[in-house]
Amino acid sequence: MATPAKTLTNSPEFVRERLQGRRFDAGGFLFRLLLLGILLITLLLLAVLVIEVVSGGWSVLSTRLGDFLTGKLVTSSERAGISQGLRGTFFIGVFVVLIAFPLGVGAAIYLEEYAPHSRLSRIIDVNIRNLAGVPSVVYGLLGFAIFVKALRNLTGPESNGATVISAGLTLAILVLPIVIITSAEALRAVPDSLREAGFAVGATRWEVVKSHVLPYAGPGILTGTVLALARALGEAAPLILVGATTGFLSEGAGYGLSSLQERFTAMPIVIYTWGGRPQAGFQNVTSAAIVVLLVVVLLANTVAILLRNKYEKRR
């Protein structure tokens, strides 16, 4: 412990002199300005992006929104629509929700609640974190090798495996590590006193996890998984590798199960293809498609926030 210098006196004059007078904390003030500046730059970049995209796509969105959403990929930018892209993105989302969420949350529960704290479990933990950082193109190659080539007969023999099934499975695997990490962190945030309370009244581990740990960690798990979903919906690179296309799409492709095995496209691919065209008209439809994709992701996030608030209130 530091001993106060004996030269300090506590005479009333001295104390008054020390306590009075405002001192300007220049360092603190500058640091605060710096942080504010960084925040503003980030917001500014985001604002420029949104304004640019919305103003570019406004001519399309304001005049023919219905046609745009239901129209097909055609060579004329006047009549081009994104229905096939939305369909592909919808199915990709369904695959991620149905495959990555249960597998990821399950793996996280095992790692956090059941697995012994051994060297092996630490190695697994580190590797999952590394997997989350692997570039998406690599997952695209994996998807191509497994789902498009090896499992062609299951994913779509008539389309050479380049189907929305392959794409959905690939993206589900892509976000799986993210789902595991965020869920594990949500579980780690559950206080041990809650687990102890459950065990102390004679609950088994499963009863403690089911009745107390999962409800407590639920909102956190939900937030993480929806962020993972948003990531999957925006990925383009793996889709290119598993054979997403914008040409030769089936005419009558609907939302039926049989359509899963046909050639497919998705929103990021539509944006990528249109964005590469030189004609001015295509720049507008590209911006409009970006706006639609942003709205879809925002909607997913909104649903997640609403669900989280609903469950958090019950605490």
Give me the residues that bind other proteins (CB under 8 A), please.
113-114, 116-117, 191-207, 211-212, 215-216, 314-315
Q: How far is CA 226 from CA 52, 223, 307, in A?
A: 26, 5, 11
CB of 249 to other proteins, least distance (A): 50
Rounded CA-CA distance 189/108 in Å is 13
- Measuring CA to CA, how many Å separate 286 from each of 54, 78, 140, 272? 10, 12, 24, 8
Residue with tokens 């956190």: 220
Write down the least CB distance from residue 201 to other proteins, Å.
4
Residue (192 or 251) nearer to other proteins, CB: 192
Closest to other proteins by CB, 93 or 198: 198
**What kind and span of H or E run contains 38?**
helix 26-70
Residue 7 CB, nearest distance to other proteins (Å)? 38
Q: Locate 211 and state its tokens.
A: 């009745």
When the beta carbons of 17 and 207 are compared against other proteins, the nearer one is: 207
In the complex, least distance from residue 218 CB atom to other proteins, rounded to whole angstroms? 11
* Minimum CB distance to other proteins, residue 193 (Å): 4
**Which of 87, 195 has the CB closer to other proteins?**
195
Nearer residue to other proteins within complex by CB, 23 or 315: 315
Q: Which is nearer to other proteins, 200 or 306 (CB)?
A: 200
- Structural contact between residues 194 and 216, judged by C-beta atoms closer than 8 angstroms: yes
- Closer residue to other proteins (CB): 52 or 207: 207
For residues 302 and 211, what is the distance between their CA atoms, to the nearest angstrom?
26
Write down the least CB distance from residue 207 to other proteins, Å.
5
**DSSP letter for each residue of 243-256:** T--SSS--TT--SS
3-state secondary structure of 163: strand
Minimum gap (Å) between residue 184 Cβ and other proteins: 13
Give the length of the chain: 315
Residue 261: how many CB atoms within 10 A of its CB?
18
Q: What are the distances in angstroms from CA 104 to CA 26, 34, 108, 153?
A: 48, 39, 6, 26
